[in-house]
Amino acid sequence: MKSPRRGAPRRVFLQQAALAGGAAALPAQTTGSTAPTGAAAPPAAAAPRIQFPRVFSGRKLAMIAFPLGGAGAGSISLGGRGQLRDWEIFNRPDKGNSPAYAFPAIWAQAGSGKPVVRVLESRILPPYEGSSGLGSRNAPGLPRIAAATFTGEYPLAGIDFRDARLPVKVTLEAFSPFIPLDAEESGLPAAVLRYRLRNATNQQVKVSIAWSIENPAGSPEQASARGPGADTRVNEIRVNGNLTGLVMHNPGLGNEDPLFGDFTLAALVPEGTKTSMLRGWPQGRWWNSPMLFWDDFSADGELGPEPEARNQVGALCLSCTLGPGKETAFPFLLAWRFPNRTPKRCGWSAPKGEADTVIGNHYCQRFASSWDAAAYLGAHLERLEETTRKFVSALRGSTLPPAIKEAASANLSTLATTTCFRTADGEFHGFEGVNDHAGCCFGNCTHVWNYETVTNSLFPTLARSLRKASFGYSLDDAGAIHFRQLLPDGKQRSGFAAADGQMGQIIKVYDDWRLSGDTAWLRSLWPRVKKALEFAWVPGGWDADRDGVLEGAQHNTYDVEFYGPNPQCGIYYLGALRAGEEMAREVGDTASAAEYRRLFEQGSKWIDGKLFTGEYYVQQIRGVSRGLIAPSLLSTMGSENTEKPAYQVGQGCLVDQLVGQYLAETAGLGPLVDSRHVRRTLESIYRYNYKHNLYDHDTVQRTFALNDEPALVICDYAKAERPKIPFPYYGEVMTGFEYTAAVHMLYAGMYAQGVECIGNIRARYDGERRNPWDEAECGHHYARAMAAWSGILALSGFLYHGARRTLAIYPNSPAPLFTCFWSTASAWGTFTMDRRTPETRLTLALLYGRLRLLEISFPGKGGRSSAALNGNALAHDSAPRGKGVSIRMREDIELKEGDKLYLAL
């Protein structure tokens, strides 16, 4: 009996307008196996109307959890209603965790009228069911604000609260500093919650906001287990200039306790504002404590006097009087310091006997207490916020499709989640994603982290840290990169090497060097990079016969080994050979460069000639005897029979078969295989893998998209018989793979299709179906989804080479007037290209850092040219270059913050 076929001609349903947030329904299209071989891809449907910044209200607030916190420093999430949720600052993922009481309250009185008192969150959304209804945590029965609108533009979140009974208009601005190229200032263990208040009446209004938080340093359950009177948590009042607040700690915990540390609730008190505090609510049985607190605050909008007998819920209140039409702002600061990260607690695998070893947190080396972190943030808030907003404005002002900006921005939040952390030694580490209470898939997994372009584009020090792990102890004596790092590092390696992970890391080294121009760093790393590349040639290895084609057992991101030539691993290898060639030439290793070039050309020709079907690339399944496979190449997750292996792609159309070419595009390495074949393959992925809905899509695997949602599936067998046992995940939908294919479409000129696919992803994350700041794969906040940033790289066409001091800007956008954010390892800013007239004008604005330039090329015709820096003419020469013109300065120039370079052809 033949294996079942997948991808038979399918009925295409109209996409529901509601999914796209108001988009018109998409026209029906016929796709699938009825398309003739070699036919052009179907035209793109209308892309979903994704806004940027993204705005949510009503039921679409339900799933929102916007991470607040520094990159690698833990996070507390802001919910769509204004509530704090998912307190993940205790050295592990902790979905659903929060103190029993943690909420703001507002009190407002117009003239001599009756005060209005509310929990400063919008009303709780259904469902309301539970064993005790909604219970008593956070007092769900207290009145709340009538409605709210949430605006998300990572790293900035805003909430507009609406309540007709309140005499003041209230908005919230929430953020943590996020400054590209500055991992230190972007890694603060702190967040800002700034409430803006405006008197909307013609009377004076007295208004107060009080934040209450139960001391989170050690749980009350721990105290209860230790017996009566064992709760040793302490809340202390601190004042330093205009910084006032409570430091919450627990001197009863040992220094090695996982919850040892402290938390700060503070405010930057504006002039003319009164403060009042409670080190604890009144102590009481049953629900007396929240009741007595609410009575106290409701009486006059202030706190106190403080009771002698109190519990562990501290409160900080700011109060002022506003004249008609007047405004003020109450900036609250949250900060934390919990130093005792261990592999066991966070879910990271460790060498034998090391699971409980404290590996620590980098931010704890910088700040001795949470109060110190809050004080630093308060003292430098103006500068930190200004630079953060400069980045946000640069991205917002880019004339990219909103879906591209929104996808890129939203997935930056992964850096602030528990997917990422920095150990006490400053090194950066990442899970693939996180489960609710532990990390999921440890080790900076190379074959996952290869897809993202955020670290090398925005935080090069973090990218180099990942490279240090791969080419440090994880690289064994034979040259195999053991693709999951154990912590503490340097004591034991994880099991085996992944072909795609290893080749991708080599490309990443090239890209890190290209963006920085740091050839000294490249020279220091080159011997180990060379060893990793040439590991493919060892007996029983991936390219033991040195013909430029990967064969044998190739472990990969699908958690199995592919046997025989295949495009996913094979084109990755071509990219690594090209990167190796460029790096070898730079360091003077000309013999290696020549050999890598030979293998590249031979392998590229073979893959085009043997694996391309006329529509896409396929795998030639070739089993191999287990005894002929090199050590470090086999997992226990793939086929037990290596001679007749299961879990293969075969003749299927794989969504990321061109991932090596995708990375080559982002790194500027050029075509790895025939560009015409690449375009045809992307058209086939759009034709076969793209499902306009999933009503008729059958999969028994994990489900990340369903029903009316359009998506790109991992592998489609419309044109071929599916293997009886195909590789795992073949029928799934995962956003990181979708972004990779969609971004590649943008690079290949399939603008409408690429934008459509990215818009479809983000339409699924609408706040009601899913959290817009949590794209899951194997765990929440999955690292691969940071490939969304590559959409900006693709459409900008911005390619800088630091060692050569050259810049090429060839946008892949049809807009005649185009503005876009750009970044290198030393600077970032915006550029504007105006092609509305025969004269092409380019303005390069530097907003942060410094940038050295010698030559700039961009679209245009030969003839007269001009160049000026801040209005001062620059001596230069111009000449045709490819599809445009190159302007070469007579001597190097260096742009610094605030500079503008003007060029015209």
| Secondary structure of 675-740 in HEC code, one letter for each residue | HHHHHHHHHHHHHHHEECCCCCCCCCCCCCCCCCCCEECCEECCCCCCCCCECCCCCCCCHHHHHH
pLDDT at 46: 67
Is 90 exceeded by the pLDDT of residue 14? no
> Structure tokens of 792?
């900006």
Is 90 exceeded by the pLDDT of residue 487? yes
Confidence of residue 230 (pLDDT cuts 50, 70, 90): confident
Residue that is written with structure tokens 């009601």 in the block: 768
pLDDT in tens, 30-72: 333 333 334 455 677 666 789 999 999 999 999 999 999 999 9
pLDDT in tens, 375-425: 999 999 999 999 999 999 999 999 999 999 999 999 999 999 999 999 999
Tell me how far CA of residue 182 lies from CA of 189, 237, 337, 458, in angstroms: 15, 32, 20, 8
Is 50 exceeded by the pLDDT of residue 213? yes
Q: Indicate the helix (H) or strand (E) that contains 86.
A: strand 84-88
Confidence of residue 502 (pLDDT cuts 50, 70, 90): very high
3-state secondary structure of 763: helix
User: What DSSP state is assigned to residue 656?
Assistant: T
Is the separation of the CB atoms in 122 and 61 below 8 Å? yes
Lowest mean pLDDT, pick from 31-35, 72-76, 132-136, 348-352: 31-35
pLDDT at 41: 57
For the segment 870-886, the average pLDDT, to the nearest whole number, is 94
pLDDT at 495: 86
Confidence of residue 863 (pLDDT cuts 50, 70, 90): confident
Residue type at 807?
A: L
For the segment 838-864, the average pLDDT, to the nearest whole number, is 94
Query: 221: exposed, middle or buried (C-beta count within 10 Å: 0-12, 13-18, 19+)?
Result: exposed
3-state secondary structure of 209: strand
Please report, to the nearest 10 degrees, the dihedral formed by the alpha carbons of residues 125, 130, 133, 136 taken in order. -90
Confidence of residue 178 (pLDDT cuts 50, 70, 90): very high
For the chain, what is the mean pLDDT? 93
CA 858, 864, 867, 871 torsion-angle sign: negative
pLDDT in tens, 282-295: 999 999 999 999 99
Tell me how far CA of residue 86 lies from CA of 69, 78, 260, in angstroms: 12, 8, 19
pLDDT at 636: 86
> Structure tokens of 712?
């790109």
CA neighbor of 870 nearest in space, from 840, 893, 901, 892: 901
CA neighbor of 824 nearest in space, from 453, 479, 415: 453
CA neighbor of 143 nearest in space, from 173, 115, 113: 115
Residues 635-657 as b or e (16 or more Cβ within 10 Å = b): eeebbeebeebbbbbbbbbbbbb
CA neighbor of 839 nearest in space, from 891, 782, 905, 795: 905
pLDDT in tens, 524-559: 999 999 999 999 999 999 999 999 999 999 999 999
Is 70 exceeded by the pLDDT of residue 16? no
Confidence of residue 220 (pLDDT cuts 50, 70, 90): low
Is the separation of the CB atoms in 330 and 319 below 8 Å? no
Angle CA(601)–CA(604)–CA(610) in degrees, nearest 5? 135
Confidence of residue 99 (pLDDT cuts 50, 70, 90): very high
Is 60 exceeded by the pLDDT of residue 20? no
How many Å from the N-terminal Cα to the C-terminal Cα in the chain?
66
Is 80 exceeded by the pLDDT of residue 156? yes
Is 50 exceeded by the pLDDT of residue 814? yes
Lowest mean pLDDT, pick from 389-398, 490-499, 630-639: 630-639
Cβ count near 738 (within 10 Å): 30
Residue that is written with structure tokens 């900080």 in the block: 316
Of the two residues 29 and 436, the one the predictor is more confident about is: 436
Instruction: Indicate the pTM of the whole model.
Output: 0.94
3-state secondary structure of 381: helix
CA 610, 616, 621, 626 torsion-angle sign: positive
Confidence of residue 515 (pLDDT cuts 50, 70, 90): very high
Lowest mean pLDDT, pick from 216-220, 330-334, 599-603, 611-615: 216-220
3-state secondary structure of 757: helix
Tell me how far CA of residue 777 lies from CA of 464, 562, 782, 794, in angstroms: 25, 21, 6, 24
pLDDT at 13: 27
For the segment 89-99, the average pLDDT, to the nearest whole number, is 97
User: What DSSP state is assigned to residue 23?
Assistant: P
Confidence of residue 634 (pLDDT cuts 50, 70, 90): confident
For the segment 12-21, the average pLDDT, to the nearest whole number, is 30
pLDDT in tens, 689-736: 999 999 999 999 999 999 999 999 999 999 999 999 999 999 999 999
Query: At 483, phi and psi to the nearest 5?
Result: -75, 0
Residue type at 317?
A: C
CA neighbor of 542 nearest in space, from 522, 507, 581, 568: 568
Crossing angle of the two packed helices 735-747 and 659-667, in degrees rounded to 10:
60
Residue that is written with structure tokens 């509601």 in the block: 18
Residue type at 89?
A: I
Residue type at 648?
A: Q
Tell me how far CA of residue 154 lies from CA of 68, 105, 177, 415, 825, in angstroms: 10, 25, 10, 11, 21
3-state secondary structure of 619: coil
Is 60 exceeded by the pLDDT of residue 763? yes
Q: Residue 72: which region, alpha, beta or left (left: phi > 0; alpha: psi -120 to 50)?
A: left
